[in-house]
């Protein structure tokens, strides 16, 4: 998976959740979509995610996060950048290039008015939320756990025509 494919995954995820501004829902759906991909693609997606984290590790963006959230520790900045990734490519790239542009986003304005932090800690662990496939009675099992502790489990039901693995969630 390259950056373009990663951003397509995020866009598909944002289109499938009921509230694309809910970073936890976006992260949960992204993990579910990743779970259906070959392991190599999951690893590549994780690398792209961390490359984006490196690309966005700038003092001006940290200052914008500090202002938007009323403070910003080093972990808080990681979570802010996780949130920023859940907002999609256009918002992410614009904010990295011009952090002041964040002030124009309705979600940022609403969060500031309500005193809600912009954070997406769950996004940072989307690949980790998918446990590695393990043999269970001839199938591979996948677990996806949300931060609230709810678990979606699935089992491999076989390859598709394209060679990817089909996963049945329960």
Domains of the chain: which residue ranges?
Answer: 3-127
Amino acid 130: pLDDT? 79
> CA–CA separation, 111 vs 91, rounded Å?
16
Amino acid 129: pLDDT? 79
pTM above threshold 0.85? no
Per-residue pLDDT of the chain (170 residues; tens, 9 = 90+): 999 999 999 999 999 999 999 999 999 999 999 999 999 999 999 999 999 999 999 999 999 999 999 999 999 999 999 999 999 999 999 999 999 999 999 999 999 999 999 999 999 999 987 754 432 223 333 444 433 443 434 444 444 444 444 444 43
Amino acid 57: pLDDT? 98
Amino acid 83: pLDDT? 98
Token output for 78: 């990681």
């Amino acid at each position: 998976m390259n950056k373009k494919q990663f951003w397509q995954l995020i866009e598909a995820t944002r289109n499938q959740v009921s509230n694309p501004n809910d970073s936890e829902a976006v992260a949960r759906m992204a993990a579910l979509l990743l779970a259906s991909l070959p392991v190599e693609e999951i690893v590549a997606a994780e690398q792209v995610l961390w490359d984006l984290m490196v690309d966005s590790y700038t003092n001006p963006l940290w200052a914008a996060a500090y202002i938007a959230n009323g403070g910003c520790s080093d972990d808080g900045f990681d979570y802010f950048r996780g949130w920023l990734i859940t907002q999609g490519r256009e918002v992410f790239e614009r904010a990295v290039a011009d952090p002041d542009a964040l002030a124009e986003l309705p979600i940022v304005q609403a969060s500031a008015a309500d005193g809600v932090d912009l954070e997406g800690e769950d996004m940072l662990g989307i690949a980790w939320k998918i446990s590695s496939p393990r043999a269970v009675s001839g199938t591979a099992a996948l677990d996806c756990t949300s931060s609230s502790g709810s678990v979606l489990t699935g089992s491999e039901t076989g390859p598709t025509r394209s060679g990817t693995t089909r996963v049945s969630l329960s």
